[in-house]
Amino acid sequence: MKIQGILIVLGLALVLSACSEEQQNKLSRLGVTWLEGDYRVTFAAGSHVKSWEIKDGKVTSDPNKGYYYFWAIVDDEKVYVQTPIIRSYIEEIP
């Protein structure tokens, strides 16, 4: 049973190492759609940096349109935010 688990992990590692960095980024973006939790999403373009915090929510991606969508708390109000994937970073808040 342990050997089967190890083989699965090694197989996944081999598949991911064969992917280009862009393909790995696309795979990680798709995974974000299904994760729920606490996150900080930061948009950075040059000197302009804007961050939002998501509490007990999820970040949904639409790679075809190139955006992340989520509900964030801004000034004690829940607001709907859309930010470009290309210049956005997502961090899980412990």
pLDDT in tens, the chain (94 residues): 567 666 676 565 656 566 677 776 666 666 555 568 899 999 999 999 999 999 889 888 887 788 999 999 889 889 999 999 999 999 988 8
pLDDT for the residue 27: 64
pTM across the whole model? 0.62
Range of the domain at 34: 2-92
What is the C-alpha separation between 46 and 34, in angstroms, rounded?
30
Give the sheet arrangement for strand 48-58, strand by strand: 48-58, 36-45, 88-92
Q: How far is CA 57 from the centre of its chain?
A: 12
pLDDT for the residue 62: 80
Q: How many domains in the chain?
A: 1
